[in-house]
């Protein structure tokens, strides 16, 4: 049986594993938002950045990309993803069902925010998010790079996220 991973943020442009197939997909019950403080990859303990996470919202649906892992790479991919995504335990690993744009339904490995974790910061105003991302830098580089790459890749696959697009434009205006 094939292993699928749901990408909605950096996995879109930096999956870090061998992808055999990539299909636009919709995950019901979750919304993509900058609701996680990044203290490792895109910020620090002293000056946290913000990264995307999936916030559980019953009436929402997140459009992203389902990535099918190349046959024979499932175990290594899961180990890699756990090391990358579970670095601070702010994400929860779940197996959820998504609807692929071509009509198939598949189960994906997906990382969603743990709302009880101290890195959770859902509901920040967009302007506050922009101010944070304009200056934060972490082990994997500036928060701006994460934001711009994600915005570009969503657009390149035809996915529209108005809040993310507004943030990318606003951060470009204020980043130093």
For residue 11, the SS3 value is helix
Whether 58 is catalytic is: no
From the candidates 75, 85, 105, 145, give the one annotated as an active-site residue.
Answer: 85
Q: For 175, what's the count of Cα atoms within 13 Å in the CB-facing half-sphere?
A: 19
In order of 7, 18, 110, the CA distances from 82 in angstroms are 14, 16, 11
Give the per-residue SS3 of 53-109: EEEEEEEEEEEEEEEEECCCCHHHHHHHHHHHHCCCCCEEEEEEEEEECCCCEEEEE
Give the containing element (helix H, strand E) for 26: strand 19-38
- The DSSP bridge pattern shows strands 137-138 and 49-69 to be unpaired
Q: List residues with catalytic annotation.
A: 85
């Amino acid at each position: 049986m094939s292993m699928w991973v749901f990408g909605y943020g950096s996995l879109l442009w930096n999956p870090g594993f061998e992808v055999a197939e990539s299909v636009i997909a919709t995950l019901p019950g979750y919304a993509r938002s900058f609701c996680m403080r990044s203290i490792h990859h895109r910020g620090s303990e002293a000056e946290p950045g913000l990264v995307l996470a999936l916030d559980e919202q019953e009436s929402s649906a997140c459009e992203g990309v389902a990535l099918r892992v190349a046959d024979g790479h499932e175990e290594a991919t899961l180990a890699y993803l756990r090391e990358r995504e579970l670095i601070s335990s702010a994400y929860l690993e779940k197996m959820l069902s998504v609807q692929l744009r071509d009509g198939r339904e598949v189960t994906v490995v997906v990382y969603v925010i743990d709302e009880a974790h101290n890195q959770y910061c859902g509901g920040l105003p967009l302007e506050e998010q922009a101010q944070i991302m304009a200056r934060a830098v972490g082990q994997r580089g500036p928060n701006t790079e994460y934001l711009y790459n994600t915005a570009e890749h969503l657009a390149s696959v035809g996915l529209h996220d108005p809040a993310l697009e507004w943030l990318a434009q606003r951060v470009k205006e204020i980043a130093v």
